Amino acid sequence: MRCLLSSPPPASAAAASSPPIIWRHQQRFREAAQLSASGIFDALDDDLRPNVLLLGIPSAESMKQGARPACLEPADCSLDLSRFADVLARGKFLQATEPWPQADRDQLSEDMARRRMQGIGLNRAVQEVLDELDLAGSKYQSYAGRPVLIGDYHVITILQLYRKAQNSHAALRPNRFYTNGRPLAHSLLMAAVLRFHEECLKSLTEPEPGSGMLVRPRDTDEIIRAAGKLLMDTPAQDLGVDPATAKLFNTCNTISSLRYEGAEGVGKLLLAKRYHPNLEEVFALTCPTPLTDYRAVRKLLEMTTADISLLADGENVYALGRQVGQYDASREDLFVVNFVTHYAWDFQHDGKVLMRAGYGQPSLPRTRLHKASFRRDLRRTFDLTNSEKVERLWDVVLEASKQKHGTLVVVTTEALAEADRLKLQCTLIEPVPLTPLITRLVTSIDGAVLIDPESYCYSIGVILDGKASGRGTSTRGARYNSAIRYVESSPYPCMAIVVSEDGMVDVITKDRLPEVN
């Protein structure tokens, strides 16, 4: 491990001793943690640019035995290591002066409780330094994990996310905690950060620290699902309900998956305590229906309209009613679950979508298209920089993204040859440059639209082929998975723009394929 010393040693000392190595898996662990973070946060928003660092703080006992250098992996990262010189002392101060709510303290031995409090204090001390460094002009927001004592060092995993991308997503009030003092998530991103650090902590506390993440890394989708569950604990606790009992994420998934007499569930569920000042009951239920009585709740959902919603307190549906008046968002005690279509729902607060879930998989709400990112994809895939051609393709894709029932546009340098190869499973047309009007017409039917980088269309209603490689996902539909197979199998430069029915737009290129499951 390459380490950056807190103060430069004399030349003779530097020559006489090599930088400290904390444990043998450290470099491979950081690389595995970086790979995990990239999978998680690229799936949520590929502008987050996750970066993983390791910070080593010498223990107090080792410091008594002789000077020990603090260190960073990689050593050439942008953090000023000297700023962490006093975090051990600061951690002890925080441990002694701040209240530490801990409901399960009686279940821990005195030694375990002491070590846990020491870890929390050091974590907060390190986070204070990271916050100061981030505010000093960093483009990143940094998050410290819980320290793990390995050898003579407290090892702390640090995750950095690009601040501008992070701030573009809606969030609740930060610095929230369970009754036992554990942090609550105020956004899906923060929930993913907490779950990521949990995975690192588990791996570092194994008999062979870090080895678990190397040989049996947890699936990205699984971690994001765990983050979704964690986020839905927040409204439960805000409503005074035990999150472990409510299990709101699983409850909403199950309700959204059910049909009533063949119809998919569409409607809203307002989560708030009864007699909330911004709720008006149209009629109440004599016997409130538990949210866990999924089929009964699904049946009640059939009565909702654009104006009338189910009212629930986190445990039971107690009435049908509507939201009235001007809601004070700072209260954070009125939430909306919007059942959009079959197996798809949104979690909202104050008109902002905090999380979307489709087929049990959480995601962040995305803009329909990101123009700068689209331009970068065109440049990388086709070496296309001509502004006029880029604008024509942008207009085509922008119009295609408006299709309510979704569509698929494939851009390839060999569109003419591919149209001929797939002629038995498509409708060939005379080559035509796409305009917004023609785009609206050709994307209104099932199948892909095949165009070249000049925006000429050669075939419509195309049934794509391609070899399955395990990169698809069961949480997405056939349109998305067929696009993955086609792009990966194509011997030509190509790009697929997938517009889903829920409004999500995915741009798929060879260098942005999802991980193999």
Of all residues in the chain, the percent with pLDDT exceeding 90 is 64
Tell me what the mean pLDDT of segment 129-144 comes to: 92
What is the DSSP code (8-state) at residue 512?
Answer: G
What does the pLDDT look like over 34-46, one tens digit per residue? 999 999 999 898 8
Q: Read out DSSP for 24-56?
A: TTHHHHHHHHHHHHHHHHHHH-TTS--EEEEEE
Q: What's the average model confidence in pLDDT over 111-127? A: 86
pLDDT at 107: 63
Rg over CA atoms, the chain: 26
Q: How many CB atoms lie within 10 A of CB 168?
A: 14
Question: Which residue in the block uniquely carries the two structure tokens 């104050």?
Answer: 350
Average pLDDT in the 11-27 region? 60
Token pair, residue 143, equals: 């998050």
Distance in angstroms (rounded) separating the CA atoms of residues 512 and 517? 15
pLDDT reading at 14 higher than 50: no
In sequence order, the 6+-apart residues with CB closer than 8 A to the CB of 200 are: 33, 145, 157, 213
Does residue 267 carry a pLDDT above 80?
Answer: yes
pLDDT band at 8 (very low <50, low <70, confident <90, very high): very low
Domain ranges, ordered by start, for the chain: 11-231, 245-363, 371-512
pLDDT tens-digit map of 30-74: 999 999 999 999 989 888 999 999 999 998 887 777 667 788 988
Helix (H) or strand (E) holding 64: helix 60-65
| Residue 382 to residues 387, 473, 495, Cα–Cα distance (Å) | 13, 27, 9
| Per-residue pLDDT tens over the stretch 92-101 | 998 887 766 5
Beta bridge partners of 410: 450, 496
Neighbour tally for 279: CB within 10 Å: 20
How is residue 336 written in tokens?
């909306």
Rounded to the nearest 5 degrees, what angle is found at the Cα of 309, between the Cα atoms of 307 and 311? Answer: 145
**Per residue in 435-494, pLDDT tens?**
999 999 999 999 999 999 999 999 999 999 987 777 766 666 788 889 999 999 999 999
- Residue 238: count of CB within 10 angstroms of its CB: 23
Q: Which residues contact 197 (CB under 8 A, 6 or more apart)?
A: 143, 145, 146, 157, 159
Dist. CA 132–CA 118, nearest whole Å = 22
Q: 4 falls in which pLDDT band (50, 70, 90)?
A: very low
Residue 347: strand pairing partners? 337, 355
Contact 487, 479 (CB under 8 A): no
Note the CATH number of domain 245-363: 3.40.1700
pLDDT classification of 271: cutoffs 50, 70, 90: very high
The residue with greater pLDDT, 218 or 360, is: 360
Question: What is the pTM (predicted TM-score) of this model?
Answer: 0.77
Question: What is the rounded average pLDDT of the residues 393-420?
Answer: 92
Q: What is the pLDDT of residue 357?
A: 94
Q: What share of the chain is helix, strand, coil (3-state, %, to 5)?
A: 40, 25, 35
Contact 200, 213 (CB under 8 A): yes
Residue 435 pLDDT: 93
Please give the CATH architecture assigned to the domain spanning 371-512: 3-Layer(aba) Sandwich (3.40)
pLDDT of residue 472: 67
The confidence band for 3, taking pLDDT boundaries of 50, 70 and 90, is very low
Q: Quick check: 446 and 408 in contact, CB under 8 A? A: no
Asked if the model's pLDDT at residue 163 lies above 60, the reply is yes
Mean pLDDT of the chain: 88
On the question of pLDDT at 120 being above 80, the answer is: yes
Helix H or strand E encompassing 120: helix 110-135
What's the angle, vertex CA 408, arms to CA 189 and CA 385, rounded to 5? 80
When pLDDT is averaged across residues 107-123 and rounded to a whole number, the result is 80
Beta strands across the sheet bearing 427-433 = 427-433, 456-462, 448-451, 407-412, 494-499, 505-509
Is-same-fold flag (245-363; 371-512)? yes
Residue of 308, 482, 494 whose CA lies nearest to 407: 482
Alpha-carbon span 115 to 163, nearest angstrom: 32
Residue type (1 letter), 129: V
How many residues in total does the chain contain? 517
Cβ count near 306 (within 10 Å): 9
**Token pair for 454:** 């000049």
Instruction: State the average pLDDT over residues 223-244.
Output: 94
Residue 269: what are its φ and ψ, rounded to 5°? -120, 120
Contacts 24+ apart (CB under 8 A), 476-480: 476/358, 476/359, 476/500, 479/406, 479/408, 480/506
Give the H or E element holding residue 336.
strand 335-341
For the ranges 95-109, 156-170, 299-313, which has the lowest average pLDDT?
95-109
Work out the end-to-end distance of the chain between its first and last CA atoms, rounded to an integer number of angstroms: 31
CA dist., res. 221 & res. 257, Å (int): 19
Phi, psi angles (nearest 5°) of residue 502: -85, 5
Instruction: Check pLDDT > 50 for residue 12.
Output: no
